[in-house]
Amino acid sequence: MRQKVIAGNWKMNGTPRETKALLKALVAASRTPENCAMVVCPPYPVLHLADVILKDSPIKLGAQDMSVHDRGAYTAEVSAEMLLTAGATYVILGHSERRQYHAESDQLVNAKAKKALADGLIPIICVGETLEEREADRTEEVVGSQIGGVLAGFAPDMIARSVIAYEPVWAIGTGKTATPEMAQAVHRFIRNRVADLNQEAAETVPILYGGSVKPDNADGLLSQPDIDGALVGGAALKADDFVAIIDAA
Ligand code: PGA
């Protein structure tokens, strides 16, 4: 059975005080689901604090981005080693907000993902089309090309150790969600594209849906055969909502 993953992307939210309150509430409320990884991805400055709070809990820690470099003169960049020593085991890569505001390309995301895997982090690699691309009926073309780019040069075991997140850009933070059927169609398409690279890895790799996932739509999305979890933004900032989404998985 494929592992399910529910990951919370806090984005630029989470002062130390907020982090303590949210994580304490999460730890108190969350059950330990079978075959489902629970991950929170707070901002860099509170990663270590989060690690201390989550020490005896099943909730795993992730970061929201990572440098492709090991160390050196890269102002404001954070390395894989720094993330690992802060307690992170996952890292989100190629989120559409990184692609949009920081011009991250598939090629860079590919290099970062290879670096993450080599250093022992699990990359959550994001792809997804814009509204304009969907309306022009280019979803498969765009997502197919992103998958080909971000997974270029991956050996089968590297695919199997990764997590893919399909996040239609038009559904992120907008309250608009893909219907379960729309999302399932793209997830199936992604799995087929991965199967072109390696059949076995395609059966193993969790593919998460992201974009306005909330407690009231989580059930429908997560019951689709190719949706293996969720990458949650806004609803990850409310302990009750995040736990309800975990319960749906
Ligand atoms: P959202 O964000 O749940 O607030 O739409 C999802 C994401 O960007 O990962």
DSSP secondary structure string for all residues of 75-96: TT---HHHHHHTT--EEEES-H
CA of 209 to the centre of ligand 1 (A): 10
Q: What is the pLDDT of residue 137?
A: 96
Are the CB atoms for 96 and 172 separated by under 8 Å? yes
Catalytic residue flag (residue 104):
no
Query: Which residue CA neighbors atom 7 of ligand 1 most closely?
Result: 233
Nearest ligand 1 atom to the CA of 213 is 3
Whether the model pTM is above 0.95 = yes
pLDDT single digits (tens) 41-70? 999 999 999 999 999 999 999 999 999 999
211 pocket-lining for ligand 1 (C-beta < 6 Å): yes
CA of 120 to the centre of ligand 1 (A): 25
pLDDT single digits (tens) 152-181? 999 999 999 999 999 999 998 888 888 999
Q: What average pLDDT does range 220-229 have in this prediction?
A: 97
Q: Which of 104, 129, 167, 187 is catalytic?
A: 167
Confidence of residue 18 (pLDDT cuts 50, 70, 90): very high
